[in-house]
């Protein structure tokens, strides 16, 4: 038994479509209040803890949902509204929050893939010698390959400027730092590129693979590629 009107459910259907999410990734269910008399419809995002509770009283609404724009759980609390449009607007904010969160790369999840890779192989054993001119050319070429990959991935013009600033810094720092410390700067810079441009985990892994192949010879072949 559904507690929302068919027209209200259709509003939610259309909002999912407009948001660019897939209707098949959502499920409807029902629930009972634990803190008050009433019932509610629940829209959940499959294979996740994300949900929106449409709380329905006699002549009013309230809600709670996860995730929010800046909090994992958001509640209408004691706010009781009589206008469906306010409830609908809250649901649309929830959908945008889901879209943002599922597209956000999980850098912590990528750590097992890279922990034995280029960044942590035997950095402590390297001498902190400066790069030669030939080695600097290798860095420039490697950074250019990373740039080409990211641009081909598809980013906005203002994001290209951000990308260039970060990669230019990476090249310039190789002129001033020894190889032992530069590889740590490279690690931080590439992570910053990934998070700033909200690249997905597959793209993140590809970037580290490109960097590993490009910079491996600078460390006498001791850098391991991501598995």
Residue 125: the pLDDT is 52
* Helix boundaries (H) for the chain: 6-19, 84-103, 107-114, 133-153, 157-176, 179-196, 201-215
pLDDT for res 40: 80
Strands in 61-66's sheet, in edge-to-edge order, are 26-32, 39-45, 51-56, 61-66, 74-75
pLDDT of res. 85: 87
Is residue 222 within 8 A of residue 122, CB to CB? The reply is: yes
- Are the C-beta atoms of residues 63 and 90 closer than 8 Å to each other? yes
Residues 102-141: tens digit of each pLDDT:
877 665 655 445 444 444 444 555 567 888 999 999 999 9
pLDDT at 43: 93
Q: d(Cα 206, Cα 114) in Å, to the nearest integer?
A: 11
What is the predicted pLDDT for the residue at 24?
Answer: 92
Q: Which residues of the chain have a pLDDT value below 70?
A: 1-2, 31-39, 58-59, 70-71, 73, 75-81, 105-127, 220-227
């Amino acid at each position: 038994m559904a507690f929302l009107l068919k027209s209200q459910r259709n509003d939610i259907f259309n909002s999912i479509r407009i948001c660019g999410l897939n209707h098949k990734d959502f499920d409807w269910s029902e629930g009972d209040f634990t803190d008050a008399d009433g019932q509610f419809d629940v829209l959940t995002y499959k294979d996740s803890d994300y949900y929106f509770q449409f709380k329905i009283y006699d002549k009013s609404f309230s809600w709670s949902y996860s995730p929010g724009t800046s909090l994992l759980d958001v509640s209408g609390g004691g706010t009781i509204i009589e206008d469906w449009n306010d409830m609908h607007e809250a649901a649309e904010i929830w959908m945008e929050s889901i879209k943002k969160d599922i597209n956000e790369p999980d850098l912590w999840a990528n750590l097992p893939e890279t922990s034995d890779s280029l960044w942590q192989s035997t950095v402590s054993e390297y001498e902190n010698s400066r790069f030669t001119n030939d080695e600097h050319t290798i860095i420039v070429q490697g950074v250019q390959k990373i740039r080409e990959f990211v641009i081909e991935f598809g980013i906005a013009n203002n994001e290209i400027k951000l990308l260039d600033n970060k990669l230019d810094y990476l090249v310039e720092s190789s002129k001033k730092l020894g190889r032992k410390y530069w590889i740590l700067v490279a690690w931080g810079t590439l992570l910053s590129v990934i998070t700033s441009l909200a690249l997905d985990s597959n793209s993140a892994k590809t970037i580290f693979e490109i960097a590993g192949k490009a910079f491996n010879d600078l460390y006498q072949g001791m850098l391991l590629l991501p598995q």
